[in-house]
Amino acid sequence: MDYQIAIFAAGCFWGIEAQFRKLKGVISTRVGYTGGNFPNPTYKDVCSHKTGHAEAVEVTFDPTIISYTDLIEIFWDIHDPTTLNRQGLDIGSQYRSAIFYLNEEQKKAAHNSRKRVEESKKYRNPIVTEIVPASEFWQAEEYHQQYLEKKRGRFSPSCNFI
């Protein structure tokens, strides 16, 4: 199979991972850190606000079932792309909204989608989502992987998804 990868950041990675995992055509997910300048960061490192990384989810998907554009549309719906470096009670650059593209086709799709959302006036405030090239994706610690499934739906009040 020719699976593809998409990488998104939209606040607490637990919630966005759970949202993407339940989609038909999503093969797997893993949460981690990307977009920064510090090799192999830990959660503690990222929370120090010194690494530049965002909490992100890497989504492996089957494009014959769900398209990259479909994933982007869902991305816009599962968080507030108008708040800079915050989602709900989570504040800091690691909670920023970002689409990390892996090729020119993804870059174009992300920009086109953002333009459609902006033109739709769905949000009163301007969209602050970064659309940037993907850099190294560092997998988060095992206890973060599929966290909400492990906790059977219990989650931090600041992780405002689900």
For residue 154, the model assigns a pLDDT of 55
Catalytic residues: 12
| CA distances to 18, 25, 101, 129 from 64, in Å | 21, 8, 19, 27
For residue 161, the model assigns a pLDDT of 47
For residue 151, the model assigns a pLDDT of 76
Residue 79 pLDDT class (50, 70, 90 cuts) = very high
Return the CATH class of domain 4-150.
alpha beta
The model's pTM is 0.92
Predicted confidence (pLDDT) per residue in 17-67, tens digit: 999 999 999 999 999 999 999 999 999 999 998 999 999 999 999 999 999
- Domain borders along the chain are 4-150
Predicted confidence (pLDDT) per residue in 85-127, tens digit: 998 888 999 999 999 999 999 999 999 999 999 999 999 999 9
Predicted confidence (pLDDT) per residue in 120-158, tens digit: 999 999 999 999 999 999 998 888 888 787 776 555 444
For the chain, strand residue ranges (E) read: 4-10, 26-34, 54-61, 86-87, 90-91, 97-101, 130-133, 138-139
Strand, coil or helix: 112: helix
Residue 159 pLDDT class (50, 70, 90 cuts) = low
Angle at the Cα of 114 (from 110 to 120), degrees rounded to 5? 145
Which H or E run includes 120?
Answer: helix 104-120
Task: Round to whole Å and give the CA distance between 156 and 158.
Answer: 5
For residue 123, the model assigns a pLDDT of 92
Task: Round to whole Å and give the CA distance between 35 and 55.
Answer: 9
pLDDT at 1 over 80: no
For residue 157, the model assigns a pLDDT of 44
